[in-house]
């Protein structure tokens, strides 16, 4: 059992699912001989051939639309967006065609749209985005965004096996920075279930993706310096959202800080806050607070990007405020 | 009247190979249109007398069914908009007839291709239930008009976003290719949809992948109120085939046999591994975009001229009588059969129940199969009043 990276976890999931099920195939830009911009599909074409690992023109509408058509016919396509920023080019196809297919036409659309997401990498406005909230509002889609190697692999397998369209956000900052030993055998993580990343009793941080690691850093610092016991809930799946896990942590600590890397207005923190309001209002001892990116396009310069994105120090500051309330 | 909206009696064609750099000449007898292309596929586009009468049946069924829908629309039994294909019945029926249902060919219609769905096996009662939003309509009241599909019978339901079905059908036919199946797909777009990004991306993708796909551009002169001259600077739609490196052919969409033959050549080519073809069918939209549209943007006399000189059913009836020895009695019998089918279907659809409101929550996902009902629709108290309260919370004590 060897240590593998987050990226290798995803690659292994693709490889194993393509071995397991001949209906699974990949399509995207530069994913074949080149192995993808980040090498997530490296080695797949030499193993499975050009028919199952398809290099496409620069056409996100066609990639997603063709995947939908193939999915209707019983195949299970996995689309790569070279950077998830480009998923907006296929927004119409995803929200109008794919997301409604089962409901309006009883047409199954089992497919995955995956891609490198997120900032902290000096990628600038068009190689750093977190567009998950833009799709949270669309019934018919599922959204996952793992933070660990085990979840990256296990959720990719679940996404490929799911009978509906799953948007699979991969955090590119985590691709090669985190490593884990994975248990042998078929590792599948169910969609729709959050993960308790750290247990605590004084306050809860609800988050997902790269900021899970910043929340864990903050929790350690708060314990060390303030004696606070901080719980960290990693949502893993954003749609459908694990309300039960959110309510459970609210009931336990009565104070909630929501952290995400995406911008604030219309971000997922607002939705989580509303659900807490509807389902656990009486259990709160303080208003729900949020730490997010500022409402600006993500700039390139390190000093600018670091200023805009949530940092560990921001989480610590907000958590202290919440604990004092 | 602009020349390109005159009845296109002569079908021109564009050469198959994307070798030349010059603009192809759209002249009668040029390129692949004509006898030479009959060598592709099964080598024949000849129709039996029975098949020729079947074409007539589907065209008549299309027209009469839409006429019945007009009546139901005026009685407010059609709860949404009504879209007619008056004057375009030949291009939908003739092109769809070129597919082979026994082999499992699949098409994706557009809003004026009711005829193509009937050819694939859609039945009048389904169409009527769709328009009347009945609970046992093919989409259980979720979608309107002819927006529905059935993969078993070989048609995929369209959405309103024009051009989107081109990438989708690229994927359907990609699956045929990947599995080595002997099947062909056909997708309809109008003149307006050729301006969308989805049309371009899907057609280019399918061309590169050499998918067994026929793209039919139904040029009926208008996209809503916008005439073709404001849709494209190209002299025709078939010339676009050259830019994608695919075969193209232009045919008279109001001649059902010419439409069938041009499409059949493309279908045979696709089945033989020759990849994508673009077929431009020239026709004319005699009704507005939908039933509410008064067509004030149409030059005076234009609609009447097409009705008088180039009605596809009139033209085809004459051909059947003059060339195939079909009698007026034969055609009358078909008309009566169509009328009877529509009467029965109308009774059937009228009696069908509307969907139960709560069915709206079913089937967004495979899992979960039912969406959550909102608390104010669930017949329970406000969600907050049903919560168990912590004993020590504020002024409440549970």
Domain holding B105: CATH number?
A: 3.40.50.970
**Is A68 in contact with B168 (Cβ distance < 8 A)?**
yes
Q: What is the pLDDT of residue B374?
A: 87
DSSP string spanning B94-106?
A: HHHTTS-GGGT-E
Mind listing the pLDDT tens digit for each residue in B264-323?
999 999 999 999 999 999 999 999 999 999 999 999 999 999 999 999 999 999 999 999
Same domain, yes or no: A39 and A80: yes
Answer whether residue A226 shows pLDDT above 90.
yes
Same domain, yes or no: A149 and A241: no
Q: What is the pLDDT of residue B322?
A: 95
Residue B368 neighbours by CB distance under 10 Å: 11
CA distance A209 to A232: 12
Question: How many domains does the structure of chain B reveal?
Answer: 1
Residue B392 included in any domain: no
Chain A residue with Cα closest to B146: A105
Which residues of chain A does B366 touch, with a Cβ-Cβ cutoff of 8 Å? 102, 108, 162-164
Three-class SS of residue B222? strand
CA distance A51 to A119: 33
ipTM of the complex: 0.96
Mean pLDDT of chain A: 97
Same domain, yes or no: A138 and A216: no
- Measured distance between the N- and C-terminal CA atoms of chain A, rounded to whole angstroms: 47
Same domain, yes or no: A167 and A232: no
Mean pLDDT of all residues in A4-10: 98
Return phi, psi of residue B107, to 5°.
-125, 160
Same domain, yes or no: A113 and A34: yes
**Is B161 in contact with A96 (Cβ distance < 8 A)?**
yes
Catalytic residue ranges of A: 127
Which residues of chain B does A140 touch, with a Cβ-Cβ cutoff of 8 Å? 364-365
Q: Of A181, A208, A243, which residue sits at a domain end?
A: A181
Which residues of chain A does B142 touch, with a Cβ-Cβ cutoff of 8 Å? 103-104
Mind listing the pLDDT tens digit for each residue in A70-122?
999 999 999 999 999 999 999 999 999 999 999 999 999 999 999 999 999 99
**Bond from prior residue into A65 cis (ω within 30 degrees of 0):** no
pLDDT < 50 regions, chain B: 1-43, 394-398
Residue B330 included in any domain: yes
Residue from the list B143, B204, B384 with its beta carbon closest to the beta carbon of A59? B204
Q: Classify strands B222-223 and B213-219 as parallel, antiparallel or unpaired.
A: unpaired
Same domain, yes or no: A89 and A224: no
Mind listing the pLDDT tens digit for each residue in A40-51?
999 999 999 999
Q: What is the pLDDT of residue B376?
A: 84
pTM above 0.90, yes or no: yes
Q: Are B88 and B284 in contact (CB under 8 A)?
A: yes
Mind listing the pLDDT tens digit for each residue in A154-182?
999 999 999 999 999 999 999 999 999 99
Residue A156 included in any domain: yes
Residue B378 included in any domain: no
Q: What is the pLDDT of residue B352?
A: 96
Mind listing the pLDDT tens digit for each residue in A257-312?
999 999 999 999 999 999 999 999 999 999 999 999 999 999 999 999 999 999 99
Q: What is the pLDDT of residue B19?
A: 31
Q: Of A151, A181, A211, which residue sits at a domain end?
A: A181
Residue from the list A57, A75, A97 with its beta carbon closest to the beta carbon of B164? A97
Q: What is the pLDDT of residue A97?
A: 98
**Is B171 in contact with A69 (Cβ distance < 8 A)?**
yes
**Is A73 in contact with B393 (Cβ distance < 8 A)?**
no
CA distance B126 to B203: 31
Which residues of chain A does B197 touch, with a Cβ-Cβ cutoff of 8 Å? 61
Residue A186 included in any domain: no
Q: What is the DSSP letter of B35?
A: G
Domain hosting A21: range is: 3-181
**Chain position carrying tokens 């009668």:** B28
Q: What is the pLDDT of residue B32?
A: 34
Three-class SS of residue B13? strand
């Amino acid at each position: 059992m060897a240590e593998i990276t987050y990226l290798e976890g995803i690659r292994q999931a693709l490889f194993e699912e393509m071995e397991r099920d001949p209906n699974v195939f990949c399509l995207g830009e530069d994913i074949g001989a080149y192995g993808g911009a980040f090498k997530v599909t490296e080695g797949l074409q030499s193993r499975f051939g050009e028919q199952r690992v398809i290099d496409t023109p620069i056409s996100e509408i066609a990639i997603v639309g063709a995947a939908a058509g193939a999915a209707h016919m019983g195949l299970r396509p996995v689309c790569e967006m070279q950077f998830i920023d480009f998923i907006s080019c296929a927004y119409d196809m995803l929200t109008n065609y794919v997301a409604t297919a089962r409901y309006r036409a009883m047409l199954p659309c089992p497919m995955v749209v995956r891609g490198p997401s997120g900032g902290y990498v000096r990628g600038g406005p068009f190689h750093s985005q977190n567009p998950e909230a833009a799709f949270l509002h669309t019934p018919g889609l599922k959204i996952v965004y793992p933070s660990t190697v085990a979840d990256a692999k296990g959720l990719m397998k679940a996404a490929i096996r799911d009978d509906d369209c799953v948007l699979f956000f991969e955090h590119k900052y985590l691709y090669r920075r985190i490593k884990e030993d994975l248990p042998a055998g078929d590792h599948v993580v169910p969609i729709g279930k959050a993960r308790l990343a750290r247990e605590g009793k004084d306050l809860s941080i609800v988050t997902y993706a790269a900021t899970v690691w910043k929340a864990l850093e903050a929790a350690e610092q708060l314990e060390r310096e303030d004696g606070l016991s901080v719980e960290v809930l990693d949502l893993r799946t954003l749609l459908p959202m694990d309300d039960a896990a959110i309510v459970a942590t609210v009931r336990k600590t009565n104070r909630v800080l929501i952290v995400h890397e995406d911008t604030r207005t219309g971000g997922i923190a607002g939705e989580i806050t509303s659900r807490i309001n509807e389902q656990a209002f009486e259990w709160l001892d303080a208003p729900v607070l949020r730490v997010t990116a500022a409402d600006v396009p993500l700039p390139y310069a390190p000093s600018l990007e670091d200023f805009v994105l949530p940092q560990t120090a921001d989480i610590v500051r907000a958590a202290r405020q919440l604990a004092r309330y | 009247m602009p020349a390109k909206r005159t009845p296109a009696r002569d079908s021109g064609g564009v050469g198959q190979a994307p070798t030349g750099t010059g603009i192809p000449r759209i002249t009668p007898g040029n390129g692949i249109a004509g006898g030479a292309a009959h060598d592709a596929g099964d080598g024949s586009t000849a129709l039996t007398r029975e098949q020729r009468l079947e074409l007539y049946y589907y065209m008549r069924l299309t027209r009469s069914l839409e006429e019945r829908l007009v009546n139901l629309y005026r009685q407010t039994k059609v709860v949404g908009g009504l879209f007619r294909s008056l004057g375009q019945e030949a291009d939908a029926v003739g092109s769809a007839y070129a597919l082979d249902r026994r082999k499992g060919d699949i098409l994706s219609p557009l809003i004026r291709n009711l005829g193509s769905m009937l050819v694939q096996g859609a039945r009048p009662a389904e169409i009527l239930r769709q328009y009347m939003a009945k609970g046992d309509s093919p989409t259980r009241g979720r979608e309107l008009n002819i927006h529905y599909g059935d993969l078993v019978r070989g048609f995929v339901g369209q959405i309103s976003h024009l051009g989107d079905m081109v990438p989708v059908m690229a994927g359907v036919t990609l699956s045929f290719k990947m599995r080595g199946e002997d099947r062909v797909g056909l997708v309809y777009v109008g003149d307006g949809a050729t301006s969308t990004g989805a049309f371009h991306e899907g057609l280019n993708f399918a061309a590169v992948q050499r998918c067994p796909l026929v793209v039919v551009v139904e040029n009926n002169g208008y996209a809503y109120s916008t005439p073709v001259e404001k849709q494209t600077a190209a002299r025709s739609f078939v010339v676009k085939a050259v830019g994608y490196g695919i075969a193209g052919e232009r045919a008279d969409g109001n001649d059902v046999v010419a439409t069938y033959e041009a499409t059949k050549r493309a279908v045979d080519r696709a089945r033989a591994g020759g990849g994508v073809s673009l077929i431009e069918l020239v026709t004319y939209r005699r009704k507005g975009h939908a039933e509410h549209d008064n067509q004030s943007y149409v030059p005076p006399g234009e609609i009447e001229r097409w009705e008088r000189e180039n009605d596809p059913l009139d033209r085809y009836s004459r051909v059947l009588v003059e060339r195939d020895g079909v009698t007026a009695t034969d055609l009358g019998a078909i008309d009566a059969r169509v009328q009877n089918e529509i009467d029965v279907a109308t009774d059937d659809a009228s009696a069908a129940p509307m969907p139960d409101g709560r069915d709206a929550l079913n089937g967004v996902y495979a899992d979960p199969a039912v969406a959550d009902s909102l608390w104010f629709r669930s017949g329970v108290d406000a969600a907050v009043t049903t919560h168990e309260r912590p004993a020590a919370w504020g002024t409440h004590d549970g």
